[in-house]
Structure 1
């Protein structure tokens, strides 16, 4: 059965790999990105988040089957807050009504194993409170120092993972028959990580931060396959799960700990 998927971040990396995989399987994909996409928006802007919903609804004829929210930034700058948390949540919440007519509605977003790294509690609290001005102001402060700037990315991913856990069992999601989940990749070889993996010295430094004993760094297609399954009709009962596709980083870092 042909389904209609919305994939954000479709122009490169994991989003592109996911869009290509779904298309190869015969599904319709509405790609969303800053450029080279069916819908071109900047998710740091509230106006563009609203336009995303409007344009997707127009292109899809008012109904979709799945949301695959991939778009993200890994930079130590305030814009990362706008895309990774507020843009991600706005995408999922904004497009959710369009899932109402699907016989098998699904939604999935991308977190990161960086959600396990140290984060800034104040920034995480502002994110979960939905206070974008306060979150951006805090990120501005963090970005002024190289060490604290590095906390921004992990903080956005930690907050998004918590949002998934808090939202998935709600009447709006599980109560409406919509599985809502996330994946948490380790180091994926994409344009986003190219500057961090272009020499063996850099790769070794990254391995120390992100241990991946199972098969090392991964290709985008690895994550795409998992996203495609989570957004498929086969996934009927996963609810609020953050699945680490990280070559073992979660196991090495957290040991016996589980959700």
Structure 2
């Protein structure tokens, strides 16, 4: 199998996207360390992985926004004598508000989970990867990290920060044999977003801006993570891979210039 003998730590594993990623990695041979803020969701994820992939998983509860809690979680993992080959930073939260209405405590909470959290977790994982010859880190960013989205100032700032951290670490950790990449999902159908997809107006709006429409699923994201985490991407480092149905590409390549779709804006980026 592609990941046979590898151990993968997945944060936010109790959520729909994190669990889908963990399931895909496990189905290709990885042993999963399921981390989630909720002990119940971490345990439930481990049980689901055993049922669906017949592979045992280690469940660890951790609040990634706390450096001390993250250090304690990895100390627990050390007691399992499990080396870390893959890290997927998937834990994340979001807010929907304009800056006028965004309470500073909510800003701090989003930044703490979405940006400080991956920093704390990556630091602990990278220390261990360095001792065992390297590994692969995949950060789950967002199209909000490569574009500007409305009504999400904290979320957008946190994801832009995560993209910057990815590119910094790709250079800093390469000498230790650690690759660092990110994916940038668009609007993906998950249990958390299912309510939005029930709205026909929402789906129509999505189809207007996403060339491939509203069909993106958590499995699409999980397969992108699998590629970046695996030996298939052995020479891929510092990449931010959109999984957005062409949403971010469509912003640069618009119909124009004689109908060939190649605009001045696109020319400047090519």
Following superposition, the deviation at residue 181 of structure 1 comes to 0.4
Secondary structure of the corresponding residue to residue 95 of structure 2: coil
- 1:106-145 alignment to 2 at 5 Å? 106-118=136-148
Normalised by the size of structure 1, how large is the TM-score? 0.80
**Structure possessing the higher radius of gyration over alpha carbons:** 2
1:159-189 CA distance string (max 9 Å, x none): 110111122112xx11111111000001111
**SS of residue matched to 1:106:** strand
CA shift, 1:58, in A, is 2.4
Residue 70, structure 1, aligned to residue 90, structure 2: yes
Q: 1:80 aligns with which of 90, 99, 110?
A: 110
Aligned to 1:156: 158
- Bigger RCO of structures 1 and 2 (CA < 8 A, at least 6 apart): 1
Measure the CA separation in 1 of the matches of 2:29 and 2:168. 33
| Cα distance in 2, alignment partners of residues 93 and 106 from structure 1 | 13
Cα deviation, 1:107-130, whole Å, max 9, x if unaligned, reads 1111100123337xxxxxxxxxxx
Unaligned runs of 5+ in 1: 120-146
Alpha-carbon spacing, 1:93–1:46, altered in 2? closer, same or farther (3 Å)? closer
Instruction: Tell me the equivalent position of 1:186.
Output: 186
Q: CA–CA distance in 1 between the matches of 2:148 and 2:24?
A: 34
Give me the whole-angstrom Cα distance separating, in 2, the residues matched to 1:54 and 1:16: 23
Q: Which moved more, 1:215-224 or 1:64-73?
A: 215-224
Kindly indicate whether the alpha-carbon contact (under 8 Å) linking 2:134 and 2:176 is maintained by their aligned counterparts in 1. no
Residue 53 (structure 2) pairs with residue 53 (structure 1): no
* Cα RMSD (Å): 2.1
- 2:143 and 2:23 mapped to 1: Cα distance? 24
